Chains A and B, each alone.
Chain A
């Protein structure tokens, strides 16, 4: 590979790196030559992308399929109010190119899937995982292990953060553990609440994503001791930090003693999210629901959103947050139609799957598109 060179402007820009003895021009060259894929441009991606761009990582891939929403701005400081409604990767590219015009930003405005992951990841040296769900975490991990790429991992929930460097091969060729060594299997859906239900302190992804950026830069430049075989834990509530050991597991299905996974699998299924296909539960459209409201038919309406969401706006359903559905099951009737809704249909679907599976209900209907869709129709009328 041709040695990276720098213009006068770049040398001036990176001067605070160049004067660090351990870092110097060699470290900066390695950054410029590096290709890093950042999966997810959310709370973790915001500091990660900005610090990697500012540091001079030569090629940064930005992967996300979402658009910027107002509720992102409490923590996703990559975006501004004007970006609401824009695809995240495009808003990110604009911001990062404004920050550093001497680097190359590649956008991937897609869902990362088992079909496209290997093809996307293969063009990068390293992946930084800032995703927000278990299926994608296992997908990113497995793609990195199958392709031999280092996976710099960070994850957050409420006040807790985790950071580690997975699948890193050191100078002696010794390979470190990966995500499946730490967590061989994901929690069943519904057992661990998501940030959409549980919330996240806005500054937490800023802290944790910055630590993740630090590890990316260390891995690229070879400066310092990367967080390999160790998991860093941060509890922002009590300001406690711990670092625990992570070992390779001989039962790891990817690269243990008897590997059984040699290609990407169906991660939705692996994470137990395909127990019931959509078709298995009954749905009711907003129009049908409005008809039902106007009719004389008796029905029960249940809202499974969180307290704060209910307070902002509700349509007078019985309020049972998803996490409490099992406990409050005796409030749910079985002798007439029950319409269950949440914000957009995901949590109410989970509630129905749980109630049908565990309690044998057969009178439950999921309001398609949730209360968002309902208000859209009602507002339009």
Chain B
């Protein structure tokens, strides 16, 4: 199963669970499965058009999926997907 590493800002929706395992075949399906498992995360992961939000970067291993096959990038059993959010520190 591929593993998704959940970044700290989103862990409040997973009861502090730091990763999630999925049998999904590609990146989009994997992120969809994650938001299915933790419905509160839905609006943080997808915009109104159902696209993965642009301020989140998704990495397969150390590579940006945007230079692979984007959301259609296929996943193998021991792949590690990371969701990397923009963080600014301090105050808004």
Query: How near does chain A come to B69, taking the closest CB pair, in angstroms?
Result: 15
Interface residues of A in 198-230 (CB under 8 A from B): 198, 200, 205
From residue B81, how far is it (CB to closest CB) to chain A in Å? 11
A293 at interface (Cβ–Cβ under 8 A)?
no
A323 — nearest CB in chain B belongs to which residue?
Answer: B12
Q: Flag the segment in A14-22, A91-99, A167-175, A239-247 that touches B.
A: A239-247
Interface residues on A, range: 35 or more
Provided the pairs A194-B90, A194-B91 are in contact, do residues A247 and B67 lie with their beta carbons within 8 angstroms?
Answer: yes
Interface stretch (choices B24-32, B53-61, B70-78): B53-61
Docked-complex contact B18 and A238, CB < 8 angstroms: yes
Q: Count contacts on B: residues with CB < 8 A to the other chain.
A: 26
B90 touches A195 (CB 8 A): yes
Residue of A nearest to B55 (CB): A187
CA distance A195 to B91 in the complex (A): 6
- In the complex, chain B residues whose CB is within 8 Å of the CB of A200: 89
Which residues of chain A (8-67) have a CB below 8 Å from chain B? 40, 42-44
Given contacts A132-B90, A133-B90, A156-B87, contact A244 B82 (CB under 8 A): yes
Beta-carbon nearest neighbor of B44 in chain A: A191
Per the bound structure, the CA–CA distance linking A111 and B78 in Å amounts to: 47
**Known pairs A235-B8, A247-B67; A132 contacts B91 (CB<8 A):** yes
- Known contacts A183-B55, A238-B18, A155 near B89 by CB under 8 Å: yes
Closest B residue, CB atoms, query A326: B43
Interface-located stretch among A112-120, A143-151, A157-165, A365-373:
A157-165
Decide: B64 and A246 in contact? CB cutoff 8 A: yes
Q: Name the residue on B nearest A200 (C-beta).
A: B89
Q: Mark A236-278, 1 if CB is under 8 A from B, else 0.
A: 0110001111110100000000000000000000000100000
Determine whether the beta carbon of A155 is less than 8 Å from that of B87. Answer: yes
Q: Annotate A326-358 by CB proximity to B: 1 below 8 A, 0 otherwise.
A: 000000000000000000001000100000000
* A206 CB, min distance to chain B CBs, angstroms: 13
User: Quick one: which of A131, A185, A237, A242 contacts B88, CB cutoff 8 A?
Assistant: A131
Residue from the set A132, A182, A183 with the largest chain B CB neighbour count within 10 Å? A183
Asked if A137 is an interface residue, CB under 8 A from chain B, the answer is yes
- In the complex, chain B residues whose CB is within 8 Å of the CB of A101: none
Check B63–A155 contact: CB distance below 8 A.
no
Tell me the smallest distance from the CB of B37 to a CB of chain A, in Å. Answer: 19
Task: Indicate whether B9 reaches chain A with its CB closer than 8 angstroms.
Answer: yes
In the complex, 22 of the A-B residue pairs with CB atoms within 8 angstroms, ordered by the A residue number, are A42-B90, A43-B90, A133-B88, A134-B92, A155-B87, A156-B87, A157-B8, A157-B87, A158-B9, A162-B84, A184-B54, A185-B55, A187-B53, A192-B9, A192-B86, A193-B9, A194-B91, A196-B91, A200-B89, A233-B84, A247-B64, A346-B91
A binding-site residues for B, Cβ under 8 Å: 40, 42-44, 131-134, 137, 155-160, 162, 182-187, 189, 191-196, 198, 200, 205, 231, 233, 235, 237-238, 242-247, 249, 273, 323, 346, 350
B interface residues with partner A (beta carbon < 8 Å): 7-9, 12, 18, 44, 53-55, 57, 59, 62-64, 66-67, 82, 84-92
